[in-house]
Amino acid sequence: MDINTLRSVTTLVSLVVFVGIVWWAWSKRRSGDFAQAANLPFEQD
């Protein structure tokens, strides 16, 4: 395995991880949690 193959594999794995994180963050199941977290600074003690 040469360095270019390793770089290609690393790039591909990074892309898959990035797409997975974006998919997780924009999923409908998570929208309620993120909406609640977005309003935390506006809640009064």
User: pLDDT grade, residue 19 (50/70/90)?
Assistant: very high
Mean predicted confidence (pLDDT) in 17-31: 91
- The answer to whether the beta carbons of residues 24 and 30 sit under 8 Å apart is yes
The CA angle 22-17-23, to the nearest 5 degrees, is 25
Distance of alpha carbon 11 from alpha carbon 3, whole angstroms: 12
Please state, in angstroms and rounded to a whole number, the distance separating the CA atoms of residues 15 and 6.
14
pTM: 0.67
Q: Which residue has tokens 């999923």?
A: 27
Per-residue pLDDT for 17 more than 90?
yes
